[in-house]
A = this chain, B = another copy of it.
Amino acid sequence: MKQDIFQAIADPTRRAILTLLAIQALTPTIMAERFDMSRQAVSKHIKVLQECELIKPKHAGREIYYHFNPKKMKEFDNWLAQFRKNWEIQFNQLDKVLLTMKKSRLR
């Protein structure tokens, strides 16, 4: 069962993990300590994140450092693009309003 990036991000703990890993790669045990959470619980979240390739493992002896994968997160950005025009229209209309206000001040 291949995981979905949208569902992976839906969980607050997984979002926190991503935020951490975007700064530096960490092992499951260290993550568990940071979140005051059982290692196994974290491990399951890691599995979900790894299945949709938002993070990647890098073995170092008996430890496994998980790295954030920006490439995959960019897919999200691409999905969001379809809505970007919607809020840009809104802001353009705001620009018009501001412009009108400015003109009336100058008058």
Q: How many copies of this protein are present in the complex?
A: 2
- Could you tell me the distance in whole angstroms from the C-beta of A75 to the nearest C-beta in chain B? 10
Q: How far is the CA of A9 from the CA of B15 in the complex (A)?
A: 14
Specify the main secondary structure of chain A where it touches its partner: helix
Q: Would you call A82 an interface residue if the criterion is a C-beta within 8 Å of the partner chain's C-beta atoms? A: yes
Q: Would you call A66 an interface residue if the criterion is a C-beta within 8 Å of the partner chain's C-beta atoms? A: no
Q: Which residues of A contact B (CB under 8 A)?
A: 4, 6-7, 9-10, 12, 15, 18-19, 22, 68, 70-71, 73-74, 76-77, 80, 82-84, 86-87, 89-90
Given contacts A70-B86, A74-B87, 7 further A-B contacts (CB under 8 A): A4-B10, A6-B10, A10-B10, A68-B86, A70-B83, A73-B80, A73-B86
